[in-house]
Structure formats: C-alpha cells, structure tokens
C-alpha cells in the first residue's frame, strides 16, 4: 500500500485523520460491487494519504489518460500566465488570432473573451470540437472561430472542449511554449509530477481540453494544491486569488439540481454538492476537492458515460458522513483488513479453460484475414501450457502479443490505434477457452480507460473474430472479421 516516490506525500492510517478504516473498506466494497470499471483511487485527508489502491493490471507507476480532467490543468496554466501579466481574462479571443478570423466577423464573436473560454460560456450553441478536428486543412483555430456564436458570450453554458483548446493555443501564442512545457517549472516540478505527456493537434498545439496523461497521485497532488489555496510546501505556486476564482461558479449549467453536473461551472472546474468542486474527465477520471472536510479524492476509471454520477454518490453517501473532526482511536484489526484488501485488488482475468480439443488443429496455423479497417492481413495462434502467443501481421508491421491464462500478460500493440489518442499502446492481456471452439481474450489498455474483448470462433478452416470495446464516445457495436487458413 505504501510506495516511495519522489516528493512523496505523507501516509497515515485513516483513524489518524478522523475516518474509520471500516468506512473506507465499505467505500471500496461499494466500488467493486456497484461500479465495475474503477481502476484506482487515492484518498487524502488533512494533507495525508489515508488509502490508495490500484486494481491490477493498473498500477501506481503507470500514467492514465485524463480526458477532460486535463482542462483543470489548462485553467491553472492560464492563471499562472495572468499572474505573469502575459494576458488578461478580459482579452478578446480574436486579438490573439487576427489572421485566422473568418471573412465576416459577427459582433458576438468580437465580444468573446478569454474568460468565456474558461467558463464554457463562449456563446456557441454546440461544442466546437467536432467542427475543428474534422477540418480537412487541420486548422483547428480557424475551425473554432468559424463556428457561429448565437448567444451573447457569458450568458449561455455549453460544454466546449474546443474552447479549452483555444486556451492552449493562446498560451502557446503568447509564450512560444507548448502548454505541457510551460507548466513544467511552475507546477509540475514543485508538485513532483514527472513525465507528463499531452497529445497535440496537427498544428502542434497541446489539446488543452483533453489528452493529458499523468498518474493517480499526480491528480491527488493537484487537488491538494487547490485545497491548500495554491500553497505547496510553504510556497505560493498558484495565486490564491486564482484558486478561488477558478473554483467559483461563473455560469449556471442546468435547471435541475440533482446531478453533480448541474451545480454550476467555474474556470474548467465543476461545482459539486456539499460545497465541493472537481475536475473530471470522460469515462470516470476525477479530482474531487472537499474543502469543508479538508479532503481530496483522485479516481481513474473506465466507466460508461452514463455511470459517472455513481462514484460521486458513493463519496457523498459513505465517505463524507464518516469524516470526523480530530483523530479516532486506533483500530489495528480494521486497518490491517483494509490494507490487505487494498493490496489484493485485481481485475478478474478471463475465465474458462486453458486448453481445448482444437488446440492441436489450430495452433501454428496462419489465418488470412479478409479486407478490414484494421489493415490486419494475417493472424496466428501458438498455444502452450503457459498461455497463447498471438502473431498479427498488418500492411506495415508484424507483432506478437502474449496472452496469459488466469493472469494478465503485459505487452504493446498497435492493433487498437485511434486517431489523436494512441498509435502503439501498452496492454495487459488474458485469455481462456470459453467453449471448445471459442478462445476469448481481453486486452486491457491499462494506461487508458479502454479494454477490448476479442472472441475467436474456430470452425473448420474458418475463423470469425469478434472484437468489442468496453466504452466509447461513439459506438461500442462489435466489429466482426473473417479469416481462413490455406
């Protein structure tokens, strides 16, 4: 449970920080039983880590894709730039990109300021992101400025990842540095965040609104920094005024008060119930700051978008009521139970048999794959007592992935490449015979929210491959490939 890392955070028992180990264990049990797909969490109270866990094959040393949790880091960068007098949040957006302006500039577009990018109140009626990323000329800035502004900026909330990209573009324009590089000295280094990566647009600009990959503890460090009003180890590394401004509601985002997504929006931070606030990203990446409880919770996940309220409900229902003032009496038995539980969490490998009567017939056979979008040409399986080696040949490459029986076997693959997200990615793979003629594999891309379930149906000389991703912004409909061996 305890790991030694650079610039380490203090670790204590939950009881020393006023929360019972049994309550944390109840929270973990609820996560496991009600919300399959949590990859990790780290809970801090009074500045100390009181519980942390990773469901293997996810691990403390691995970064994870943040999706829109990236936005809170972008907001922090703008706050630092404002403090350096490099820009003002009252600056017109067009003032930074006069050469990218549309031929006809509307009065509403002229009114759009940096503050409106920050608060998602640009005046757009839709998220500008699809209009930007699908441009044939790859000029995302121009694409953003061409989206019609239909409302007076500052009056209408639309969640707008394109707006955050523009913040990144503005920062790069005024500093000559990419966002990830600009944050290195004033933020990442003091916090002990090492080797962050941030995906880029075709224009060479960090995506800003998505694309950051960092570790679970790095999320917790940002939350703790904001909880401490920008102070870190005695140094004011983010202005207190910016922390307050960024986490205050600047625009109403719903008429319904039930969901935590309806409590108002700050500067790339969401307001929550219970006077809390958070950065969050698609598929369940959270940085939850609870000032009234002096607590921070970081979570990484691979959740369906419709399930993202559930972890927050568990926080409010289980953790919040358990947070007491002062310390609690030591409870060694409960603490030991919690530590053992946190150290043994794992995603279940594929269940089934490690062999089949078909193994002798199909092992070593090369299957020619019919034309497909993955450009996969051949696939071959080599079954042994220890596992299966899958060899994939595409038009440009050949790779072999090891697949363990009842264990997760680590490898790298280009099989599941996605535009703007990843070309080659790390995977942990497990497999088993679900039936005598069906070998099923799960590929967990453990630095992302995604995993793929691939079922191979062997019928004589033919092979049918069914692949399905767990979650997606688009369709999770299975992809079917057919293949034959000579």
Q: For the residues of 363-426, what is the DSSP string, one character each?
A: TTPEEEEPS-TT-EEEEEEEE-SSEEEEEEEESS-EEEEEEEESS-EEEEESTT-BTTTBSSEE
The band of 274, judged by pLDDT with boundaries at 50, 70 and 90, is very high
As a whole number of angstroms, the distance between CA 356 and CA 64 comes to 36
User: What pLDDT digit, counting tens, does each position of 211-263 carry?
Assistant: 999 999 999 999 999 999 999 999 999 999 999 999 999 998 876 667 888 88
On average, the pLDDT of the chain sits at: 93
Looking at residue 423, what is its pLDDT?
A: 66
pLDDT at 419: 57
Q: How far apart are CA 486 and CA 212, in angstroms?
A: 45
- Spell out the residues 6+ positions from residue 230 whose beta carbon is closer than 8 angstroms to its own: 236, 237, 238, 239, 240, 242, 243
Cα(425)–Cα(410) distance, integer angstroms: 11
Say yes or no to pLDDT of 193 above 60: yes
Q: What pLDDT is stored for residue 415 in this prediction?
A: 79
Q: Are 82 and 89 in contact (CB under 8 A)?
A: yes
Distance of alpha carbon 174 from alpha carbon 454, whole angstroms: 47
pLDDT digits (tens, 9 = 90+) for 41-77: 999 999 999 999 999 999 999 999 999 999 999 999 9
Residue 1 has pLDDT above 50, yes or no: no
Q: How confident is the model at residue 5 (pLDDT cuts 50, 70, 90)?
A: very low
CB contact set of 386 (below 8 Å; sequence gap of 6+) = 404, 405
What proportion of the chain, given as a percentage, has pLDDT over 90?
Answer: 87
Q: Is the pLDDT of residue 199 over 80?
A: yes
pLDDT recorded at residue 2: 36
């Amino acid at each position: 449970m305890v790991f030694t890392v650079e610039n380490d955070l203090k670790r204590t028992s939950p009881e020393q920080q006023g929360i019972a180990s049994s309550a944390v264990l109840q929270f973990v049990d609820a996560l496991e039983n009600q919300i399959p797909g949590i990859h990790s969490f780290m809970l801090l109270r009074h500045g100390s880590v009181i519980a942390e866990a990773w469901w293997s094959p996810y691990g403390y040393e691995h970064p994870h894709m943040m999706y829109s949790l990236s936005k809170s880091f972008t907001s922090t960068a703008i706050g630092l730039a404002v403090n350096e007098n490099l820009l003002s949040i009252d600056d017109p957006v067009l003032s930074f990109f006069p050469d990218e302006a549309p031929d006809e500039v509307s009065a509403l577009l002229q009114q759009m300021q940096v503050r409106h990018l920050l608060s998602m109140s640009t005046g757009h009626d839709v998220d500008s992101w699809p209009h930007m990323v699908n441009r044939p000329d790859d000029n995302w800035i121009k694409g953003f400025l061409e989206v019609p502004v239909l409302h007076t900026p500052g009056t209408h909330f639309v969640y707008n990842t394109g707006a955050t990209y523009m913040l990144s573009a503005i920062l790069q324009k005024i500093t000559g540095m990419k966002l990830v590089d600009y944050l290195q000295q004033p933020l990442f280094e003091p916090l002990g965040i090492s080797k962050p990566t941030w995906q880029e647009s075709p224009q060479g600009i960090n995506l800003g609104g998505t694309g950051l990959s960092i570790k679970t503890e790095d999320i917790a460090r940002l939350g703790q920094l904001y909880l401490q009003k920008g102070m870190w180890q005695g140094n004011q590394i983010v202005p207190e005024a910016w922390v307050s401004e960024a986490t205050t509601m600047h625009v109403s985002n719903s008429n319904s008060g039930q969901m935590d997504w309806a409590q108002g929006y700050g500067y790339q931070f969401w307001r929550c119930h219970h006077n809390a606030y958070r950065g969050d990203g698609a598929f369940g990446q959270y940085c939850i700051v609870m000032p009234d409880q002096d607590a921070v919770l970081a979570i990484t996940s691979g959740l369906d978008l419709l399930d993202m309220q559930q972890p927050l409900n568990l926080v409010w229902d289980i953790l919040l009521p358990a947070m007491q003032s002062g310390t609690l009496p030591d409870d060694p038995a409960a603490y030991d139970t919690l530590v053992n539980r946190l150290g043994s969490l794992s995603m279940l490998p594929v269940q089934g048999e490690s062999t089949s009567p078909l193994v002798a017939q199909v092992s070593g056979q090369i299957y020619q794959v019919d034309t497909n979008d993955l450009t996969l040409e051949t696939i071959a399986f080599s079954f042994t007592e220890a596992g299966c080696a899958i060899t994939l040949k595409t038009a440009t490459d050949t790779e072999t992935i090891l697949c363990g029986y009842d264990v997760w076997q680590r490898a790298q693959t280009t099989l599941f490449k996605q535009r703007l997200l990843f070309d080659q990615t790390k995977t942990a793979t497990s497999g088993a015979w679900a039936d005598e003629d069906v070998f099923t594999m799960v590929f967990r891309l453990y630095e992302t929210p995604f995993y793929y379930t691939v079922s191979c149906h062997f019928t004589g000389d033919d092979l049918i491959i069914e692949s399905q991703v767990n979650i997606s912004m688009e369709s999770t409909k299975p992809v079917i490939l057919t293949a034959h061996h000579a």
